[in-house]
Amino acid sequence: MHDVRCVLDAQAELGESPVWSAEEQALYWVDILEPALHRFDPASGATRRWPLPKSIGSFGLRERGGAVLALRDGFYGFDFDSGALRFIAGPGETPGVRFNDGKVSPDGRFWAGTMDEATLSQPLGALYRLDPDGSLQRMIEGLIVSNGLAWSADGRTMFHSDSKGKALYAWDYDPAAGSIANRRVIARPDEDVGRPDGGATDVEGYYWSAGISAGVLNRWSPDGRLDRRIPLPCVCPTMPCFGGPDLKTLYITSLRHGLAADRLAEKPLSGGLFALQVDVPGVPVAKFRG
């Protein structure tokens, strides 16, 4: 039985994109709708907040310091000290479409996908790859809500999902070229099992998925078997992230936005940041090389 703790009652409207900094032993995360970037120090409980001018879907830390952000309309460099933003590249998306889930790949590229925010039903989204030189490539089209990015420990498999397509996918990944091929379906979780939101991988090759529709964290085997299902004290978990000195602490973000009063009364910690201990360490997430 897992002991799930609320480590920060953040009351986030739409908490997402937790990213662990091994150097700082701190967790960064975002509230998409606030919009803001946050930092949480598990040892002291100290927090810090950087307000942003437009919604943020996800981000990655940079090797040279600072971060790369996927804001509503494109990719930006961000300086933690000054709060300054610098536009890098954007796809010129249509109104009603915004950036969502993203993560740095093992080879130091930043991947982030878009979603149909207006209706949550049209395949208007895509998955993009931002290279260290600032060039932008569209890698997958026809998505409703791009989500669930994570890579295997050897960097040769990329996991991805379309939250509204209700499928978890795996792709062959070539770190040298940053290319993907041979998509296959790992699982098709329904609403009761937990529609897939954000994801993370452990060193055994298992994929942890936030089951946003079922209030659970699911651990999937490489062949699509549901290995573990952990109920969480929130209505809608959004994304897991491995942290801690040994990468055996799983942090999970969650949301409050749009929840009915009775659901919030059931689980008042919704919108909080949660943590649980696991026995298998996670795969560390790389930093953007640009």
CATH match of 5-277 with 2.120.10.30: yes
Domain boundaries, the chain: 5-277
Question: Residue 16 annotated as binding?
Answer: yes
Question: What SS3 state is found at 29?
Answer: strand
Per-residue pLDDT tens over the stretch 9-38: 999 999 999 999 999 999 999 999 999 999
Residue 1 clears pLDDT 60, i.e. is over it: no
Contacts with 261 (C-beta within 8 Å, 6 or more apart), sequence order: none
* Cβ atoms within 10 Å of 66's Cβ, excluding its own: 18
Whether the Cβ atoms of residue 12 and residue 272 lie closer than 8 Å to each other: yes
DSSP state of 139: E
Query: Max alpha carbon distance in the chain (Å)?
Result: 50
98 is in an annotated binding site: yes
* Contact call for residues 128 and 138 (beta carbons, < 8 A): yes
| Mean pLDDT to the nearest integer, 156-172 | 94
Identified catalytic residue from 197, 202, 246, 279: 197
CA-to-CA distance for 223 and 175, rounded, in angstroms?
A: 22
| 218 assigned binding-site residue | no
**Residue 23 counted as an annotated binding residue:** no
Average pLDDT of the chain, as a whole number: 97
For residue 79, the number of C-alpha atoms closer than 13 Å in the C-beta half-sphere is 7
pLDDT in tens, 245-267: 999 999 999 999 999 999 999 99
- Does the pLDDT value for residue 238 go beyond 60? yes
Q: Is 174 a catalytic residue?
A: no
Strand order in the sheet with 15-21: 15-21, 26-31, 36-40, 47-51
Confidence class of residue 95 from pLDDT cuts 50, 70 and 90? confident
